[in-house]
Structure 1
Amino acid sequence: MTTPPPPITEPDPSALTCPGDKIGPCAVCRRKTRRYGLGGNPLCGWCVTAARDKWGPGVRWNTARP
């Protein structure tokens, strides 16, 4: 059983570890996430998990952080 995502007002954990100029909204839920620069992704961690469940393991999420 997976835990439900926190409220949209709480940022993705990746947004907490990067400079403010790299933060942007998730393309699906609009939660603050690391969106720009090395390691950026247009989806937050919760939305990419849902996309992976729907589309399969070919959906990638870059977890590398500088």
Structure 2
Amino acid sequence: MMSTPPPPISEPDPSALTCPGDRVGLCSGCQRKTHKYGSGGCPLCQWCMAPVQEKWGPGVGYTSTRG
């Protein structure tokens, strides 16, 4: 369980600050800027992903459908 509440939506996910700008997109859950595209990207920011991982386990992820 996360002890600190997520910052305002105007604050990007930390992953958006460390990835190339062309890989930044909006979180599918809260619309916060996050590392969405390319290698290491995820459709959800870390705050939206946390409850999903809690429910499904640490191995949850997504499968790329692009060859």
Runs of 4 or more above 6 Å deviation: none
CA RMSD of superposed structures (Å): 1.7
- Equivalent pairs counted in the alignment come to 60
| Structure 1 unpaired stretches of 5+ | 62-66
**What TM-score, normalized by structure 1, do the two folds share?**
0.81
Alignment gaps of 5+ in structure 2: 63-67
Q: Identity, % of aligned pairs?
A: 60
After TM superposition, the structure 1 = structure 2 runs for residues 7-46 of structure 1, keeping only pairs within 5 Å, are 7-46=8-47
Please identify the structure whose Cα radius of gyration is greater. 2
Give the match for residue 64 of structure 1: none
User: What TM-score does the superposition give when structure 2 sets the normalisation length?
Assistant: 0.80
